[in-house]
């Protein structure tokens, strides 16, 4: 029971803050936490976790209460490079980072 998200337009450092909280929790607890978490990017993790739970229910006939998060890996994705013009024909780099999320659920 897996779900992936690739090249999500938020830096991995910000996603890892919320990921540490829900790692090794049951799927029900994690879904309820992410639904009302104050962080903006908690909604992204909620969608991916909900997708993994739906995959488990439809494909493997599992119950939500029996599932827990066995692995939640957040890696660096593509980096979009932009520039900001400044005085004297120079430019400052702007790095727009993306994340790859791999989530796996297992039965207790």
For each of the chain's 108 residues, which pLDDT tens digit applies?
A: 899 999 999 999 999 999 999 999 999 999 999 999 998 889 999 999 999 999 999 999 999 999 999 999 999 999 999 999 999 999 999 999 999 999 999 998
Q: Does domain 2-107 have CATH number 3.40.605.10?
A: no
Residue 68's DSSP bridge partners are: 26, 106
pTM, rounded to two decimals: 0.90
| Contacts of 11 by beta carbon, 8 Å cutoff, 6+ apart | 97, 98, 99
What's the CA gap between 48 and 3, in Å, rounded?
6
What's the CA gap between 76 and 67, in Å, rounded?
27
The alpha carbon dihedral of 14, 20, 48, 100 has a sign of positive
User: Residue 60: its pLDDT value, please?
Assistant: 92
Ordered by start, the domain boundaries in the chain are 2-107
User: Residue 8: its pLDDT value, please?
Assistant: 96
User: Residue 25: its pLDDT value, please?
Assistant: 95
């Amino acid at each position: 029971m897996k779900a992936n998200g690739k090249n999500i337009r938020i830096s991995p450092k910000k996603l890892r803050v919320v990921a540490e909280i829900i790692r090794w929790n049951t799927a029900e607890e994690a879904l309820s936490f992410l639904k009302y978490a104050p962080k903006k990017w908690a909604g992204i993790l909620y969608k991916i976790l909900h997708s993994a739970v739906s995959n488990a229910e439809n494909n493997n006939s599992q119950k939500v209460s029996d599932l827990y998060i066995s692995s939640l890996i957040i890696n660096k994705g593509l980096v979009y490079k932009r520039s900001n013009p400044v005085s004297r024909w120079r430019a400052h780099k702007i790095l727009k980072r993306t994340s790859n999320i791999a989530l796996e659920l297992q039965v207790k």
